[in-house]
Amino acid sequence: MALSQDEMKQQVAEAALEYVESGMIVGIGTGSTANHFIDGLAKMKGKIDGTVASSEASAERLRGHGIEVMELNAVGNIPLYVDGADESNKYLHLIKGGGGALTREKIVAAAAEKFVCIADESKLVDMLGAFPLPIEVIPMARSYVARQLVKLGGEPVYREGFVTDNGNIILDIHNMEILNPVELEVTLNSIVGVVTNGLFAQRPADVLLLGTQDGVRSIT
Ligand code: 5RP
């Protein structure tokens, strides 16, 4: 019987547990795939020293399992970060932020030595951008930033009723041609009022584990 998308997410989250080593502080992503990873980690929580969470939601789930959540400022480098993605290309450039946690995700990814991205096979694409690219924006800059995004060829849509863990808003850019993710990430970050954009290309994933109907595929 064919695996559902959620079963593929679970399968790939379990595969990521193999990257967890004794005494590690593990960076934890956000979303349904990361949730499967958290649930798996709970079964081996005695092995790790603690975690750093990329969102309040993940922190709450970790604590619910009795797993220690630490402040990033209280730890040094993080040996391992495990998180999902909305899209990945074959260079492991990602679009993230479907759940709105992109800024903290990008911070934890930046602080991590190894970023293992976990996703079901539908997330691997030839070109990034079919998934609307999330941008976290300081609330007072919303209209200004939206106008700049239109000039860059995108169609920004305000994510109604959503406030990030940092108290900001999200604009999702639709129909943006992302020919050069590394360059676009820098361009978007240089717009005043933008906190972070959901392109993870300057710091891509190091390993992409993909859940497929035929098992877990690893791309490096
Ligand atoms: C949250 C994210 C998630 O990693 C992304 O949205 C994928 O989510 P899911 O694992 O539920 O498919 O970037 O901000």
- pLDDT tens sequence across 45-77: 999 999 999 999 999 999 999 999 999 999 988
Coil, helix or strand at residue 50: strand
For the stretch 128-153, pLDDT in tens is: 999 999 999 999 999 999 999 999 99
Annotated catalytic sites, by residue?
105
Main-chain dihedrals φ then ψ at residue 65, nearest 5 degrees: -90, 0
Q: Write the Ramachandran bin of 64: left for phi over 0, alpha for psi from -120 to 50, otherwise beta.
A: alpha
Q: Ligand 1: does its nearest atom lie under 6 Å from the Cβ of 101?
A: yes
Q: Ligand 1 within 6 A of 87 CB?
A: no
pLDDT digits (tens, 9 = 90+) for 28-43: 999 999 999 999 999 9
| pLDDT at 56 (0 to 100) | 96
Among candidates 212, 216, 208, 215, which has minimal Cα distance to 5? 212
pTM of this prediction exceeds 0.85: yes
Give the pLDDT of residue 77. Answer: 84
| Cα–ligand 1 centroid distance for 143 (angstroms) | 26
| pLDDT tens, residue by residue, 156-182 | 999 999 999 999 999 999 998 899 999
Query: Count of CB atoms within 10 A of residue 63's CB?
Result: 13
Q: Is residue 57 classed exposed, middle or buried when 0-12, 13-18 and 19+ CB atoms within 10 A define those classes?
A: middle
Distance 206 CA to ligand 1 centre (A): 17
86 Cβ below 6 A of ligand 1: yes
